[in-house]
């Protein structure tokens, strides 16, 4: 095996590991809803859309998903469609496995002393808290996994179509363009499954309004992280060498 091949394998492992880790963490921390304005020390911003109003509240997972998108684009750039499809299917399998493990853990009979162990900290029943945090609803889990997979498969297709038109130029365009299309679907599919056909039965106006606000946030985050794409590209070029990095990009494009 040539030294560049071993470096290439290590590079893929690192990128895939970071991708999978962020995706898994995002799924679990997504149970928390945070107020963006209060977090930034700003006055509440009351948005109004389609007769629906609200403040800028998001799941904590939105802090990590933009990094998943960046890693997806970097892997797409150097390892192509097959690389992204591999890690996308792995992510779906690992996320499903993680939730099965979480539900199994919830089902275990808690030790009596452990249930009340955190009463002094304001948690009278830690078993109930554990179940509420890790036991996300099945509709939410299914919606998130399906939306993630659809988004990833759309992203890789759009990425390569833009790449065929632009060649090795305009890295930001293919990354942002593919994210714009894939996250448009992702943002609405997850809400539709979790909250429209799920038990809550959101009205169409609420579904469209919340989905639009979430999509706009994701796009702003994707644009803000464009410099990270160029940082990653430069780091990979230094790690692999210019010739090996160019060879990988050409193979990925083909």
Q: pLDDT per residue over 112-145, tens digit each?
A: 899 998 888 888 999 999 998 888 777 888 888 8
- d(CA 180, CA 165) in angstroms, rounded, equals 17
* Rounded-to-integer distance, Cα 28 and Cα 69, Å: 17
Q: What is the mean pLDDT of residues 19-41?
A: 89
Percent of the chain with pLDDT over 90: 34
Contact residues for 70 (Cβ-Cβ < 8 A; gap 6+): 175, 225, 228, 229, 232
Q: What tens digit of pLDDT does each residue of 149-189 get?
A: 998 889 888 988 888 888 778 888 888 889 899 888 888 99
Q: Calculate the average pLDDT of the chain.
A: 88
Residue 82 to residue 75: CA distance in whole angstroms: 10
The CA distances from residue 63 to 59, 163, 221, in Å, are 8, 27, 9
For residues 186 and 148, is the Cβ–Cβ distance under 8 A? yes
Q: What is the pLDDT of residues 52-95, one digit of tens each?
A: 888 888 888 888 888 898 899 999 999 998 999 999 999 999 99
Tokens, residue 200: 């809550």
* Intra-chain end-to-end CA distance of the chain, in Å: 23
Separation CA 254–CA 204 (nearest Å): 42
Cα separations in angstroms, 250 against 2, 52, 173, 254 = 18, 48, 18, 6
What b/e readout covers 36-73, taking b as 16+ CB neighbours within 10 angstroms?
A: eeeeeeeeeeeeeeeebeeebebbebbbbbbbbbbbbb
Q: Could you read off the pLDDT of 83-119 as tens digits, one per residue?
A: 999 999 999 999 999 999 999 999 999 998 999 988 8
Of the segments 40-44, 183-187, 234-238, which one has the largest average pLDDT value?
234-238
- Per cent of the chain over pLDDT 70 is 98
Ordered domains of the chain (ranges, CATH): 3-108+124-253 (1.10.1760)
Predicted model pTM: 0.86
Give yes or no for a contact between 93 and 34, defined as CB atoms under 8 angstroms apart: no
């Amino acid at each position: 095996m040539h030294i560049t091949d071993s470096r290439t394998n290590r590079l893929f492992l690192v990128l895939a590991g970071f991708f999978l880790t962020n995706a898994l963490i995002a799924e679990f921390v997504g149970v928390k809803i945070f107020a963006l304005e209060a977090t930034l020390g700003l006055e509440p911003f009351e948005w109004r859309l389609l007769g629906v109003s609200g403040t800028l509240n998001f799941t904590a997972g939105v802090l990590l998903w933009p990094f998943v998108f960046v890693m997806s684009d970097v892997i797409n750039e150097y390892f192509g469609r097959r690389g992204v499809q591999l890690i996308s299917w792995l992510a779906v399998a690992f996320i499903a496995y993680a939730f099965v493990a979480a539900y199994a853990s919830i089902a275990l009979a808690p030790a009596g002393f452990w249930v009340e162990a955190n009463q002094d900290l304001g948690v009278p029943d830690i078993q109930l808290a554990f179940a509420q945090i890790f036991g996300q609803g099945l509709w939410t889990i299914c919606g998130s996994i399906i939306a993630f997979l659809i988004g990833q498969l759309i992203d890789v297709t759009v990425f390569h179509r833009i790449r065929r038109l632009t060649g090795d130029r305009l890295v930001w365009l293919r990354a942002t363009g593919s994210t714009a299309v894939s996250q448009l679907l992702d943002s609405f599919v997850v809400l539709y499954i979790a909250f429209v056909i799920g038990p809550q039965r959101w009205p169409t106006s609420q579904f469209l309004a919340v989905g639009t606000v979430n999509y706009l946030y994701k796009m702003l985050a994707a644009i803000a992280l464009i410099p990270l794409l160029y940082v990653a590209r430069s780091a990979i070029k230094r790690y692999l060498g210019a010739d090996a990095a160019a060879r990988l990009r050409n193979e990925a494009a083909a």
